[in-house]
Structure 1
Amino acid sequence: MAIQPLHVHSLRAVISEEERGIIMEICSVCRKPQNQCACTPETKAKWEHQMELYREHEKERIQYVFRNQPDEIPKRMEMLKRRPTYEQCHCFDIDDDIWPIIELLWQKGYGTRYCCAGHAERKMYSMYIMFDLPYFFDFTTEDFGEGWSYTRTKHQALYFSVTSRLMRQLKKTGEDPGEYLEKQRRKLFDFVKKLPQAQVVSASLRLPGTSAGGKIIKIQEENHHDNKK
């Protein structure tokens, strides 16, 4: 089954390097960190050839489109001289803290679209993974607890957020919300390790361990509901 590339909202333009934490660059072709790119020389050479054909086509197009604006042609031609590298054209950003989870999901056939690991340094105590298809998940295999949900309306996405109620509980116990967020990432990694190979199901199928609204029910709550039946 083909897996769609994962894309992550780039934060480079809005916050500094220090503020955004560690963000890895992943090759969208071989799906390896850019410094471990496994694309073959043949693949890169084929891309270079395609780029040359594109530039030649663009030169002809510029000449035609701006035939009545001759002063504009040299500017457009100059832009064509910029030659981005293969790596620059085939990479996307991903939060370092969530990369091991995404990599494992890909290995098991789960396609993803967007993700975020959360940013405790900016008090963003939430994370999510958006999937490309409605996959089957059994959320009873891990005790997720407060703050977890899986939405299946417009998008298929797994969310965690430190809710206001959870924040009050953390303040009472003195636990740092950033450390709690890290615990939830480890819990998610443990959950993904247990997952079988990806299985696509109907988007209307209610997944084990979820409520009608998408909230992930605690294991003890699920068992309590079962005993009531």
Structure 2
Amino acid sequence: MLSLHSVNQFYGERHVLWNVDLEMLSGESVCITGAQGTGKTTLLNCITGHLPVQSGSIVWRQGGVAPLHLNDANADTRAALGIGYVPHDRRIFSGLTVEENLQIALRAAGDTQGLVPESTFDLFPELYPLRHSRGASLDDENQQRLALANALVIQPKLLILDEPTRGNNAGFIHKLGDVLLRLNREFGLSILLVEQQMSFIRRVADRFCLLHKGRSVAQGSVAQLDNPRLLPLIHC
């Protein structure tokens, strides 16, 4: 589904990502983890098209179609291909209603009509009675639900989330885990997330990629994260 080969990125003179490789298969749930400041969000922004890749390649494969190199594709083009993104700061339009937010997400992905299907609210029934409420009036949990719904309304093939548990309470985190598990295991949606909370990673992910100082230093099954050699690199 998604292949990264020798991806490098810089902020000015600072080398942030160093020759990162990642292979993700359709239907997988993969977690990118590591300590703060190791390039995790930068890597997601390269994948979603919000940052250019300095060197290396990002390739998208789907449904028997010829591989597509994404390096020159912008964020809207990648959304139209089926890449949904939930950034850690949510990026909802606070002055627009829930329904208007969803309509904009659809149009950004190439749906000219922007008609929100009723099924959008099946996963987030809490949002349905709030569909005419402005984003600014929503509490934190419903803003997070709206950010997720914005990514899912385009019916993505790959859902990308940046630290979805950050700032949320244990009850909401458990519900979020239920949603991600259902999306992955019941609907077959591929999921790529950045996360540091180990209990959440173990619950929702199949495999991990550990970044340290911008380098991928370990990849494997989530069970391998119990290796005492790796844990200090996640929370240092």
Q: Considering the TM-score relative to the shorter chain, is it more than 0.5? A: no
> When the two structures are superposed, what TM-score results if normalisation uses the length of structure 2?
0.24
Bigger helix fraction = 1
> When the two structures are superposed, what TM-score results if normalisation uses the length of structure 1?
0.24
Greater Rg, structure 1 or structure 2?
1
Q: Which has the higher contact order (CA 8 A, sep 6+)?
A: 2
Bigger strand fraction = 2
